[in-house]
Amino acid sequence: MQDYEAEGWWAHTVSYGDGVYSARCPECARFVKTDETAKRLFESADLAEDNATCRKHGRVKTPFLCWASDCQT
């Protein structure tokens, strides 16, 4: 099994408004191609729809990492 933590979830990130998300598949941790924009739920970090494409799992929602004001990317 590959050690995904060693590669770090911060290796590639994407921002939607003030939310920062990992550009990895939540199922397999592969890097994914993200959309330029994504809809978020009102005042929440939760994404309203899939925002990335994984080669193995198709359309997915990338994992939330932090608010831009709370972290450095």
Residue 62 pLDDT greater than 50, yes or no = yes
For the stretch 5-61, pLDDT in tens is 556 777 899 999 899 999 999 999 999 999 999 999 888 899 999 999 999 999 999
Predicted pLDDT of residue 72: 64
Q: Hey, how many other C-beta atoms are within 10 angstroms of the C-beta on 37?
A: 8
pTM here?
A: 0.82
Contacts of 22 (CB under 8 A, 6+ apart): 9, 10, 12, 13, 62, 63, 65
Residue 47 pLDDT: 95
Q: What is the pLDDT of residue 5?
A: 53
pLDDT score for 35: 95
Q: Which segments within 1-73 are labelled E, that is strand?
A: 13-16, 19-22, 33-34, 52-54, 58-60, 64-67
How high is the pLDDT of residue 7?
Answer: 60
d(CA 35, CA 73): 19
CA distance 18 to 4: 25
